[in-house]
Structure 1
Amino acid sequence: MTDLRNRIGNRVRIIRKIKGLTQQQLAELSGLDDAYIGAVERGERNFSIDTLEKIVTALKIQPTELFQNLDGLSETEAAQRRAIDEYAVTVSELSVKQIDTLKRVVREVRGAFGD
């Protein structure tokens, strides 16, 4: 069971950093102690579903995002997954108009690569 706890804690850390949050900021947003957040990220705490919900809500993500695993992926696949994570964070903070603009930019960039 610790393996799953470690993987979820690592995903919390990755997503928190992508969002540019410190452990203290995530603690404040989630109503948890910053030392507790650190322990969760290190896989040291056997957290409850309620705690996980507080963290997911504070990070503004879907719970499924915590269960994605980068273990066993090639270097390219892991880089793609990290890029998708960053893209998802960026999109979550944009308006519909900004998302449409970003989609057009992505299509243009993709076209520049010859796809």
Structure 2
Amino acid sequence: MNIKEKFGLKVKALRIEKNFSIEQLANISNVDRNYISDIEKGQRNVSIEIIEKIIHALDVDFATFFNDKSFKR
């Protein structure tokens, strides 16, 4: 699994945990819903600005988000 897929799966898991639809996350983060869908599928190479918007919308900090065994080698 590559880093884009790992990132997308983590975003999706947190989105579901927060009971957000893709549309809700898109509205909160100000990121297009199709772009978020592609991120969750591991199909986008996401910029740090978009990562920040999504993580902020999910109400987690960078350390918490990336301190996960799925990001470890």
TM-score range, shorter chain: 0.7 to 0.9
1:42 aligns with 2:37: no
Gaps of 5+ in 1: 72-115
TM-score by length of 2: 0.86
Give the percent of matched residue pairs that are identical in Structure 1 and Structure 2.
Answer: 33
**CA deviation digits over 1:3-62, x for unaligned, max 9?**
111111100000000000000000000001111000011110001000000001111101
Greater C-alpha Rg = 1
Gaps of 5+ in 2: none
Q: 2:60 matched to which residue of 1?
A: 61
SS at match of 1:47: coil
Contact 1:8 1:66 in 2 (8 A): no
Higher helix fraction (1 or 2): 1
Structure 1: how far apart are the matches of 2:69 and 2:4?
Answer: 12
Structure 1 residue runs of 4 or more that deviate by more than 2 Å after TM superposition: 64-67
Please report the RMSD computed on the Cα atoms of aligned residues, expressed in angstroms: 1.7
Counterparts of residues 54-93 of structure 1 (less than 5 Å) = 54-67=53-66, 68-70=68-70
Structure 1: how far apart are the matches of 2:16 and 2:65?
Answer: 14
Structure 2: how far apart are the matches of 1:8 and 1:66?
Answer: 9
Contact 2:6 2:70 in 1 (8 A): no
TM-score by length of 1: 0.56
Structure 2: how far apart are the matches of 1:56 and 1:38?
Answer: 15
